[in-house]
Structure 1
Amino acid sequence: MKILVNEEAREVSTTTLAGLLDELGYGDARVATAVDGDFVPASRRGAHMLAEGARIEILAPMQGG
């Protein structure tokens, strides 16, 4: 399936947001996710189905000061 991840075109085999994070190597990393502009909490990633052409944003927290 073709999707956009952080504005980069990707071909992926998974159909869930949780599966996508695993496929991209994020595993258990603490990240924020949005699909097509809507925030998806970690508790719903396993059930959140992805569609062809979905736009996914994955944001890691920043440290510093």
Structure 2
Amino acid sequence: MQVKVNGDAHEVARPCTVAQLLDRLGLPDSGVAVARDGIVVPKSGWDAPVGDGDGFEVLTAVQGG
């Protein structure tokens, strides 16, 4: 199935949860915020299945000052 992550298209195998998507793409699973189609997905919802055509934004926390 096709999904977009941070604007880039990716082909991922089914079944796939949000947590598995992050893992398969080598993205961290801590210190990040995930939104699916513009709606924030709390970490407690990362076991939800990913659907064909879903769009994700993954933002990582950075320290600075």
Match of 1:39 in 2: 40
Aligned Cα root-mean-square deviation (Å): 1.3
Residue-pair matches, total: 64
CA deviation map 1:3-29 (0-9, x unaligned): 100000111125210110111112533
Unaligned runs of 5+ in 2: none
Percent of pairs identical after alignment?
44
- The answer as to whether partners of 2:19 and 2:29 remain within 8 angstroms in 1 is no
What stretches of structure 1 move > 3 A for 4+ residues in a row? Answer: none
Unaligned runs of 5+ in 1: none
> TM-score when scaled to structure 1?
0.86
